[in-house]
A and B are shown apart, each in its own frame.
Chain A
Amino acid sequence: MAKAFPVTHQRGFGTVAITTFIFLYAPLAVALVFAFNAGTSPAKWGGFSLRWFQSAANNQQVISASILSLKLAAISAILSTTLATLAALAMSRTPRFRGWTLAYSAISFPLMVPEIVTAVALLVVTATFRGWTGYSGLGYLVLAHTAFCVPFAYLPIRARLQTMDISLERAAGDLYASPWNAFRFVTMPLLFPGILAGFILAFVTSLDDVVITEFVKTAGQDTLPTYMLGQVRRTITPEVNAIAAVFLLISVALVMCIYVVNQRTKIN
């Protein structure tokens, strides 16, 4: 006999949930396993091999695309996190002021516009600018990535600031801390997990982006995602799986990083 009436039980929900988790992980697991496949078939196992990792590592295009991806993600994550931190500090610590809604709408604007729309809009603008100035460096990509990363960096920082106890800063003020010291020794350490989460979110968002990059880049500015998208018209080799495996590892590591920091610094 059951011990209690299972008031939360809904028939079939457990089965659907487990199926969902299998659905979420099976394709990734298959891709991961076949990254180590000696053969070229996506379905037939030809023995264990690291050849696709080697071939990816020896592919000059893959290497330069990876470097550009990481460079771009690092620069735009640092820039957007810095800007977002400043804005969040100015917008969450003070009572609502005139223009708050406007500033907030502006910052979250990139979240509301479909990527493809921003992408073609940027295509039009950057094409024009290239014509006018003759400059065709990384600047366009950095600006575009920073712009769409700002809301992603902003949200976790703001969330953290909202759960933080403002009385801690007041207490620091009572204890003769100057505003700067109160900020440095009280606000900053408490805010750090939010900033880290914002940075990682921005970094991953930039690393992930394919649509906007595809439209803003010029020749020779391939990131890893745009390189892979370009490969789609040719025959796909498990080399893509090898790259996927590395990407997967990076994202799991980053998620774990956020998870651990959140667990350690939970504000009650």
Chain B
Amino acid sequence: MKDESTPGVAIRLNQVTKTYGSGNAVVTAVKSTTLDIFNNEFFTLLGPSGCGKTTLLRLIGGFEYPTAGTILLGGEDIASVPPFQRPINTVFQNYALFPHMTVAQNIGFGLRMLKRPRHEIAARVDEMLKLVRLENLSDRRTSQISGGQQQRVALARALASEPKVLLLDESLSALDYKLRKEMQMELKSLQAATGITFIFVTHDQEEALTMSDRVAVLSSGEIMQVGTPHEVYIKPANHFVANFVGETNFLQGRGLNSDDRGAVIDVRGVGAVAIATKDRVAPGQLVNIVVRPEHLRILPLAQEPAGQLTGSVKAVSFCGAETQYTIELSRGAAVVTVRRYNTPEENLPIAIGDEVSVNFTPNSAQILPA
């Protein structure tokens, strides 16, 4: 599996470290990162600002060279190859379109630098213009087109030379909400159509989950978890991932006992709670129970006997398709968020100040070491 040219692997990062500064003022942007990114994959680097995701992208693009480690492209170490010799192209955050060139000249720039014959460039530019639906704008200056169109030109420009890998640096963040949604779909279908590996950097977890085949969650220069959006959301590897990807409730407790099917946790101020898990929890071990807001069910106490947890409603906010409740659990156990779809059947009114029972099934929760 770990040989030098594994088929299917587009980019392999091997113990890549990047530090800035020297002496006492060394800042580590990327900490000994090892990662495989597969051919034909939409891969996302997700993390808060300053987590090292952009540095990682720039290392792959060739704008930064790693302090240690290797970057393999098709089995070949490209760690110190300059960007103009890497078959990897970038869509920059601010698009970086050349203001003194037309849309068509921008798109054809890479091919011209590769000294492709003129007719080939022209044909390819036309093809790219069609792909991003900008045929009628080819002679415009880049300052004369809208933000969404600029985004498409940047995409077409980066794709024109058919790179092995396309890097996208927070490429959608400058667009307004609606356009961003549109471009997410478009990017996804472009990736499918071209079969090129996309590496996408974002701090927006929703964007990451929507678009990606796989996601790597980063924090302080380290990869916290790599997996499909589903895996990352349903089985976060640690507290950080659980917290950063989607909204989560944490309940602190100690292990009572566990077997192959599950564990029983003594939640502070609540009592014993059963969780379905394959992980063993040692008696007395401090753990966090992780439950997503949509997996919690609430009912007015008046209508139903107390369940696992009880608490009082502190805030209610209506979000269209769903309503979000903030509930302070009794005896100060925790403050949790609960989300309920606004379907007519379930509409037992719950208001601020109401006492409620809070339930979840053993399967919907997960245990993480505290």
Instruction: Enumerate chain A interface residues (CB-CB to B < 8 A).
Output: 1-5, 7
Contact = CB atoms under 8 A, between A and B. Distances in A.
A7 B67 CA distance: 18
Contacts of B83: 5
A11 to B, nearest CB: 13
A3 B26 CA distance: 13
Contacts of A3: 20, 64-65, 67
A7 to B, nearest CB: 7
B98 to A, nearest CB: 15
B80 interface: yes
B87 interface: no
Interface string B246-288: 0000000000000000000000000000000000000000000
Contacts of B65: 1-5
Interface string B53-73: 000000000111101000000
A1 B80 contact: yes
The 6 closest A-B pairs by CB, nearest first: A4-B64, A5-B63, A5-B82, A1-B80, A5-B62, A2-B65
A88 B80 CA distance: 56
Contacts of A5: 62-65, 82-83
Interface string B106-117: 000000000000
A72 B83 CA distance: 60
18 contacts: A1-B65, A1-B80, A2-B65, A2-B80, A3-B20, A3-B64, A3-B65, A3-B67, A4-B63, A4-B64, A4-B65, A5-B62, A5-B63, A5-B64, A5-B65, A5-B82, A5-B83, A7-B63
Interface of B: 20, 62-65, 67, 80, 82-83
Say whether chain A's binding surface is mostly helix, strand, loop, or mixed: loop
Given A3-B64, A5-B83, 6 more contacts: A1-B80, A3-B20, A4-B64, A4-B65, A5-B82, A7-B63
A2 to B, nearest CB: 6
A124 to B, nearest CB: 47
A5 B80 CA distance: 8
Contacts, number: 18
Contacts of B67: 3
Contacts of A4: 63-65
A4 B29 CA distance: 13
Nearest to B18: A3
Nearest to A3: B65
A9 to B, nearest CB: 10
A1 B67 CA distance: 8
A1 B59 CA distance: 14
Contacts of A1: 65, 80
B320 to A, nearest CB: 41
B56 to A, nearest CB: 14
A150 to B, nearest CB: 37
A4 B63 CA distance: 6
Contacts of B63: 4-5, 7
A3 B22 CA distance: 12
A3 B64 CA distance: 6
Nearest to B67: A3
Contacts of A2: 65, 80
A3 B67 CA distance: 7
Nearest to B22: A3
Contacts of B80: 1-2
Contacts of B20: 3
B69 to A, nearest CB: 11
A2 B63 CA distance: 11
Nearest to A7: B63
A4 B80 CA distance: 9
A8 to B, nearest CB: 12
A6 to B, nearest CB: 9
Nearest to A2: B65
A5 to B, nearest CB: 5
A207 to B, nearest CB: 42
B71 to A, nearest CB: 13
Nearest to B61: A5
B13 to A, nearest CB: 16
A3 B29 CA distance: 13
Nearest to B66: A1
B334 to A, nearest CB: 46
A163 B98 CA distance: 29
A30 to B, nearest CB: 40
A5 B85 CA distance: 12
Contacts of B82: 5
Nearest to A4: B64
For A2, A4, A5, A7, the residue with the greatest tally of chain B CB atoms inside 10 Å of its CB is A5
Contacts of B64: 3-5
A3 B62 CA distance: 11
A1 B79 CA distance: 10
A201 to B, nearest CB: 33
A206 to B, nearest CB: 41
A7 B96 CA distance: 14
B65 to A, nearest CB: 6
A1 B16 CA distance: 14
Nearest to B59: A4
Contacts of B62: 5
A119 B62 CA distance: 59
